[in-house]
Amino acid sequence: MLEKIKDLIAEVEKISVDTKEKAEELRLKYLSKKGVLNEIFAEFKKVKPEEKKEYGQKINSLKTLVESKIAAAQEALEEQLSKPNDLDITLPGPNYNLGSHHPITMVKNEIIEIFSRLGFTVAEGQEIEDDYHNFTALNFPPEHPARDMQDTFFIETNPDILLRTHTSGGQVRVMEKQKPPIRVLVPGRVFRNEAVSARSHCIFHQIEGLYIDKNVSFADLKQTLMYFAKEFYGEKTEIRLRPSYFPFTEPSAEMDVSCSICGGKGCGICKNSGWLEVLGCGMVHPNVLKNCGIDPNEYSGFAFGMGIERTAMLRYGVTDIRMFFENDMKFLSRFKY
Ligand code: DAH
């Protein structure tokens, strides 16, 4: 019998009591009326008086062991149950990373915001264009060498359809639908069949501006662009307009801004010139107005177009245009605001 009790002690020691059910099972098996301990007590009565002490001690330790196992399990369970009450619902929740705008979107929105103060609204052009809107209506005659300035992706089965090479076609679409006065921006993605490098990409973004009204002059163009340059690049920014050529504007110009990195003194970014080329512009060519059903004797206007990647590179000091397309989180997370 002594052996049996020792075995039972060893058995109980091994049991893990981690649920209510297991604790109850243990109680029923050992402590209930028909339980093991009562059986043992019954047998204990038959034990010789001189052995009673030893037997009694062993039985007691079995009983205490069972009771302490049950008590410990209950305590643990109670503690577990009381945990939800410890939940502090005022603690801050897990930290979800908020998304942010892509730097191209941020720059685009900022440009739109500045021009919207001057009454410009936004129109959508279309990425898949026809030759007429991308070239012909913009005064690029067929076979004109200026078409080669922009290496074009044509649709193989129909070379009349192409991926727009610039947002200027958006001007035509707006003028076809809307009577002057017109003040509109056309932002969007453009495509050119060019090798991808740190400085150029086959996909990029531009924003086009168009202003048509009576008596619009080159002075209005210059003033508008100067306002933009100071708002976007900083109060101290200076601009200069260099004569240039675009088929859809006459006269045409390219605008430089004084380098905001070195303040015009000359640095690596401005190639020591003190100036950064930021956009093309000019007075809308009378042929373009005519093509869009606007009388050039009654109305005049100006247009401008700028690359958003280039603008963003200057704004944020990004030296490789490809970064804007790689969606590298390390790069993009620099532009939280
Ligand atoms: N479309 C020209 C380009 O992609 C940019 C441009 C120049 C747009 C002069 C204009 C403009 O509206 O007047 O290079």
Probe target for ligand 1 pocket from 133, 168, 193, with the most ligand atoms within 8 Å of CB: 168
Which residue has better confidence, 34 or 248?
248
Ligand 1 centroid–CA 337 distance in Å is 30
Which residue's alpha carbon is nearest to atom 5 within ligand 1?
A: 305
Say yes or no to pLDDT of 337 above 70: no
pLDDT at 81: 74
Ligand 1 neighbours, Cβ below 6 Å, are: 166, 168, 208, 246, 249, 280-282, 303-305
Instruction: Identify the weakest region by mean pLDDT among 142-151, 192-201, 278-287.
Output: 142-151
Ligand 1 centroid–CA 24 distance in Å is 84
Say yes or no to pLDDT of 149 above 80: no
Tell which atom from ligand 1 comes closest to the C-alpha of 306. 5
Query: What is the rounded average pLDDT of the residues 45-69?
Result: 87
Say yes or no to pLDDT of 116 above 90: yes
Element (H, E) at 280: strand 275-284
Query: What is the rounded average pLDDT of the residues 234-256?
Result: 96
Instruction: Identify the weakest region by mean pLDDT among 101-105, 147-151, 250-254.
Output: 147-151
Say yes or no to pLDDT of 146 above 80: no
pLDDT at 103: 96
Query: What is the rounded average pLDDT of the residues 159-188?
Result: 96
Ligand 1 centroid–CA 269 distance in Å is 23
List 163's β-bridge partners, or say none: 128
Torsion, Cα 79 81 84 85, to 10 degrees, reads -70
CB 190 within 8 A of CB 128: no
Tens of pLDDT along 60-102? 988 898 888 888 888 888 877 777 667 788 888 888 877 889 9
Query: What is the rounded average pLDDT of the residues 193-209?
Result: 95
Tell which atom from ligand 1 comes closest to the C-alpha of 166. 4
Q: What is the mean pLDDT of the chain?
A: 91
Tell which atom from ligand 1 comes closest to the C-alpha of 302. 13
Which residue has better confidence, 183 or 317?
183
- Cα separations (Å) of 326 from 72, 102, 321? 58, 11, 10
**Amino acid at residue number 129:** E
Which residue's alpha carbon is nearest to atom 7 within ligand 1?
A: 280
User: CA-to-CA distance for 162 and 183, rounded, in angstroms?
Assistant: 27
- Cα separations (Å) of 240 from 148, 259, 314? 27, 12, 17
User: CA-to-CA distance for 138 and 171, rounded, in angstroms?
Assistant: 9
Ligand 1 centroid–CA 117 distance in Å is 22
Ligand 1 centroid–CA 304 distance in Å is 6
Ligand 1 centroid–CA 306 distance in Å is 7
Domains within the chain, CATH numbers bracketed: 2-82 (no CATH), 103-332 (3.30.930.10)
Tell which atom from ligand 1 comes closest to the C-alpha of 149. 14
